[in-house]
């Protein structure tokens, strides 16, 4: 991924937080059948893995999905996590109305997690992944669903129909394109226009970035 210096985000703790907040990722593999991409929810274990790793990603796919047979343990893979994006109109920049030297662009926040995959076709691993994902994403429900709510035989059948994936993260690349190469007034103008349209995922982050710059000693 092309990352100009002013858009670079390399702090592991920030990238881990972005993955945790936006866990539905795109897993890109290059196995025996060539390039493939699958869209799946991930669980990040930030402190798990070897001394030279940046955490571990756990996930699962349907047993019917050829992915788990197309790759082999140790293959390099890429998991992409999108943390928001928005079109930026040049009319939102105050400077445009003075010089007309602005063009449309697209702002976004994204994390690329490079790593080595391992297929985990064992019931204990799969059950653990499903249980933790369920607890995490059901936590905000008035009556959270739990695995014990389903009949044991039904749940056992469903678990046998999926295969676990484990990815040891070897490199994290982050990009926060928020208009950092623009004047502060232009960043604010675009951010406020996005917020007014309800697009706070990027507009709010742009305002936070601007506030951080203005509060620097």
**DSSP helix/strand/coil, 47:** coil
Half-sphere exposure of 61 (CA within 13 A, CB side): 21
Q: What is the pLDDT of residues 143-184, one digit of tens each?
A: 999 999 999 999 999 999 999 999 999 999 999 999 999 999
Determine the pLDDT at residue 217. 63
**pLDDT reading at 49 higher than 90:** no
Half-sphere exposure of 100 (CA within 13 A, CB side): 0
Contact 92/189 with Cβ under 8 angstroms? yes
What fold does the segment set 5-86+106-179 form as a domain? Pnp Oxidase; Chain A (2.30.110)
Q: What is the pLDDT of residues 56-81, one digit of tens each?
A: 999 999 999 999 999 999 999 999 99
Determine the pLDDT at residue 48. 86
The burial of 37, by beta-carbon neighbours within 10 Å (0-12 exposed, 13-18 middle, 19 or more buried), is given as: exposed
Q: What is the mean pLDDT of the chain?
A: 95
Q: Round to whole Å and give the CA distance between 178 and 203.
A: 9
**pLDDT reading at 216 higher than 70:** no
H/E segment holding residue 81? strand 76-88
**pLDDT reading at 187 higher than 90:** yes
**pLDDT reading at 50 higher than 80:** no
**pLDDT reading at 108 higher than 80:** yes
pTM: predicted TM-score of the whole model, two decimal places? 0.92
Q: What is the pLDDT of residues 18-46, one digit of tens each?
A: 999 999 999 999 999 999 999 999 999 99
């Amino acid at each position: 991924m092309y990352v100009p210096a002013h858009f670079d985000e390399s702090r592991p703790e920030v990238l881990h937080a972005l993955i945790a907040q936006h866990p539905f990722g795109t897993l890109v593999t290059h196995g025996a059948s060539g390039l493939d991409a699958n869209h799946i929810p991930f669980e990040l274990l930030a402190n798990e893995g070897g001394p030279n790793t940046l955490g571990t990603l756990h996930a699962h796919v349907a047993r019917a999905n050829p992915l788990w047979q197309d790759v082999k343990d140790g293959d390099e893979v890429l998991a992409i996590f999108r943390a928001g994006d928005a079109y930026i109109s040049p009319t939102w920049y105050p400077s445009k109305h003075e010089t007309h030297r602005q063009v449309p662009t697209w702002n976004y926040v994204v994390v690329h997690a490079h790593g080595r995959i391992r297929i985990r076709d064992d019931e204990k691993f799969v059950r653990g992944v499903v249980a933790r994902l369920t607890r995490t994403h059901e936590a905000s429900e008035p009556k959270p669903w739990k695995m014990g709510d389903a009949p044991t035989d039904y749940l056992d059948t469903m678990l046998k129909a999926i295969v676990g994936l484990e990815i040891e993260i070897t490199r994290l690349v982050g990009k926060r394109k928020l208009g950092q190469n623009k004047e502060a007034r232009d960043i604010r103008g675009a951010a406020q226009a996005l917020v007014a349209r309800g697009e706070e995922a990027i507009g709010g982050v742009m305002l936070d970035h601007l506030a951080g710059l203005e509060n620097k000693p």
